[in-house]
Structure 1
Amino acid sequence: METINRIERWGDTHHPAWMDVVRIGLGVLLFAKGISFISDTARLSHLISNMDFHLYSVMAVHYVAFAHIFGGFLIALGCLTRTASIFQIPILIAAVFMVNLRTGFSYFNSELWLSVITLFLVITFTVIGSGKFSMDEWMKNHDN
């Protein structure tokens, strides 16, 4: 537990202000991907039909959609950024290694590159936290 507290303290003290812009952009991107994932019902039904056990695939689809929409919103606001980022990590690992890597590792596979960069950023914000311009910082300073 002491190691986690030391990582959090280090991340809080080594967070440049420009990373807040990156955090907001990441949150908006995740939110938009969650909305597009829900709105593309043809791809969603194709994804479910390729699975053997439909209950797990339906649960996975709902987890991904909820985590991207709600987690992206929280990351953009800077509220519970570390927790929201942790929930994104398994989704992005699956996206990189199970979904996008099947189409090939090339410069033209933009979804793979987007997933890799997003995974890197989510891990980064899991370590460094939300930053100075966030709801977490505002709530810490305005605690009554």
Structure 2
Amino acid sequence: MATIRELNKWANAHTSIPLDLLRIAFGAFLFIKGISFFTEGKYLHEILSTSGGFGSEMLLIHYIAFAHMVGGVMIIIGFLTRWSIWAQLPIVICAFLINFIFEFNLSNTLQAGIALLLCIFFLFFGSGKHSADYYLQMEK
């Protein structure tokens, strides 16, 4: 717990508007991806079917889309950012690995790789000074 406090203090001391804009853009990207997975269910179905077919494929499709949409909104406003990133991390890691294990797609690999790097960065950095987390912390 002390490590998280120290990370928050460091992040709040070194925060800037461009990092907050990056967090907001990343959250918007995840939210848009979630919407695209709901509207284009065949696309995610094709991705998951190349991996040999899962018995619970519909459950995975809905989990991924819902996690991206809710997590994206939470990352945008900076509310429970690290928890949202923890929920996104398995999805993003699997998205990155699927491109190497099954069918390689450069565009998807770049998107998943950048998303993975941003997840790791914001997992340590947190939501920053211009966020709901910081506001609620200051209300204590």
Distance 1:36 1:78, change over 3 A: same
Q: Which moved more, 1:87-96 or 1:10-19?
A: 10-19
CA-CA distance at 1:60 after TM superposition? 1.8
RMSD: 2.2
CA-CA distance at 1:9 after TM superposition? 3.9
The one-letter amino acid of 2:113's match is V
Q: Which moved more, 1:41-50 or 1:19-28?
A: 41-50
Identity level (%): 36
Q: What TM-score comes out, normalization by structure 1 length?
A: 0.82
The one-letter amino acid of 2:125's match is I
Query: Alignment length, in residue pairs?
Result: 138
Q: 2:44 matched to 1:40? A: no
Q: How does 1:49-64 map to 2 (within 5 A)?
A: 51-55=52-56, 57-64=57-64
**Residue 100 of structure 1 corresponds to which residue in structure 2?**
99
Q: 2:77 matched to 1:74? A: no
After superposition, the C-alpha distances for 1:84-115 in whole angstroms (9 at most, x for unaligned) are 01111111110011x222333xxx71111011
Gaps of 5+ in 1: none
Q: How does 1:1-144 map to 2 (within 5 A)?
A: 1-47=1-47, 51-55=52-56, 57-97=57-97, 99-101=98-100, 102-104=102-104, 109-141=106-138, 143=139
